Amino acid sequence: MKIAIVSDLHLGYERFEEDAYLQAKSALESASGMADAVLIPGDIFDKRYPRPDVISQAINIFRELSKKEWGARIVGYTGSVGLHTHAPIIAIPGTHERIAEGKDNAVRLLSLAGLLADTSEATTTIQKGDELVSVFGLGGIAEELVKERIAAISPKPTEGTFSIFMFHQSIYEMLPYNDNFIKYSDLPKGFDIYVSGHMHSRHDAEVHGKKLLIPGSTVLTQMKGDEQGSKGFIVFDTHDGSYKFVQINSRPYVTAEIRVENAKPSELISRCESETERMISGKSTKPIIRLKVTGTMANGFDKADLQAHALAMKYSDKAFLTIDTSQLSSPGTELMIDELRDGKIDDIPIKELGMLTLYKRLKDAGADQTISYTELFNILSSQASKEKAVKSAAELLLVDGG
């Protein structure tokens, strides 16, 4: 059986909403022409509560998709939402759709409408001829809960089928900076392949001696350097274990770094302009360009003098231009950081400024003037736990303020 994996569509992603829609549609249409079934490991929607017109986009896409002549059909389903379609479009909610447990999230709504099968913490079995493939899904959950959750539900492959484990998490081996991220060894054993969403760039790896496949998103949302790779989906063949990446038409994304020393704003602006023009040339589609400016500005100038927003506006017909100046330092800014390090702003100690702000806010809010705002400030800014601080603050207010 040929299984397409299309992930992280992010319908309703504000900055590139039309791209999100067109690229999701194109990926799924193309997948339906090449595969017997499609898996969507999370983030169909960009927002927990998508607007009605974004839900319309999803309905338009999945209504047509579910009517296609698919090679396989759903023959078994253990999910609590009930089976409302036999079209082999199998999904889980991602972290972007996650809402309080027991409430219906947006992916579950599509499942209730019979537009796909939500296989959260459930197994969906599909059949083509006499071949059976089963998919166990685990929707995206908070990273610190994932190991516990897997231990609690203990996902198992289904005997007599080619078994797939589909999930949506950050993976430690690919992003080694948070101990809560799931490790390969934490994934349940015994499945024939592992499929994940969440990571927006393409990956493949080996888990328990089997393939882990991540197609990346169909639309650019994170503007990281590694998102420059092409967008698309994966088609996996259960017969020989081969797989390929199928590219879709997506808006070009290019990044460049501009390094300067003691640069005057005019010099910096012209460097940004020539780099932008170089990147625009030869592109038939308006590209997304991210310039990262690093180094230092000349004495007496600030990075605000670069007027990054005005530059972006100047090219708005030809490019979606973003200029990142977070790594650009200027002597003026440096002085301010030094002051902050010394605990002062304009020679007023920061703690005093904080108290003054709290006092003004309390006064504006019409709070009782007899409240000891210095004591309240000390409680709220103490190193004690949040709960303890709130409790102490409440005690103070009840005694002092009545």
**Interface residues with Mn ion (CB under 5 A)?**
8, 43
What is the sign, positive or negative, of the torsion defined by CA atoms of 122, 192, 26, 70?
A: negative
Output the smallest distance, CB 221 to Mn ion, in A: 7
Q: Give 36 or 43: the residue with its C-beta nearer to Mn ion.
A: 43
Nearer to Mn ion, 9 or 297 (CB): 9
In the complex, least distance from residue 158 CB atom to Mn ion, rounded to whole angstroms: 28
Which is closer to Mn ion, CB of 195 or CB of 268? 195
Q: CB of residue 141 vs Mn ion: minimum separation in angstroms?
A: 14
Are 250 and 18 within 8 A, CB to CB? no
Is residue 24 within 8 A of residue 232, CB to CB? The reply is no
Going by C-alpha positions, the residue among 251, 218, 217, 229 that lies closest to residue 27 is 218
* Nearest residue to Mn ion, by Cβ distance, number only: 43
Measured from the CB atom, is 111 or 217 closer to Mn ion? Answer: 217
Query: In angstroms, what is the minimal distance from the CB of 264 to Mn ion?
Result: 41
* Residue 162 phi, psi dihedral angles, 5° rounding: -85, 115
Minimum distance of Mn ion from residue 399's CB (angstroms): 49
The CA-based dihedral angle spanning residues 71, 75, 76, 80, taken in that order and rounded to the nearest 10 degrees: 80
Token digits for 229?
């790779």
Q: Which is nearer to Mn ion, 2 or 168 (CB)?
A: 168
Min. distance of Cβ 222 from Mn ion in angstroms? Answer: 8
Give 20 or 72: the residue with its C-beta nearer to Mn ion: 20
Half-sphere exposure of 54 (CA within 13 A, CB side): 21
Smallest separation (angstroms) from Mn ion to the CB of 196: 11
* Phi and psi based region of residue 82 (left: phi greater than 0; alpha: psi -120 to 50; beta: remaining): left
Q: Which is nearer to Mn ion, 55 or 376 (CB)?
A: 55
41 vs 155 by CB, closer to Mn ion:
41
Q: 8 or 118, CB closer to Mn ion?
A: 8
The smaller minimum CB distance to Mn ion, of residues 36 and 97, is found at: 97
In angstroms, rounded to a whole number, what is the distance separating the alpha carbons of residues 361 and 147? 43
Smallest separation (angstroms) from Mn ion to the CB of 169: 11
What's the min distance (Å) between Cβ of 400 and Mn ion? 48
Query: Shortest gap between Cβ of 28 and Mn ion (angstroms)?
Result: 16
Q: Which two tokens stand for residue 301?
A: 């100038």
* Calpha distance 175→132 (Å, rounded): 34
**Beta carbons of 258 and 274 less than 8 angstroms apart:** no
Give the C-alpha distances (Å, rounded to integers) separating 273 from 11, 17, 270, 310, 387.
32, 27, 5, 12, 51
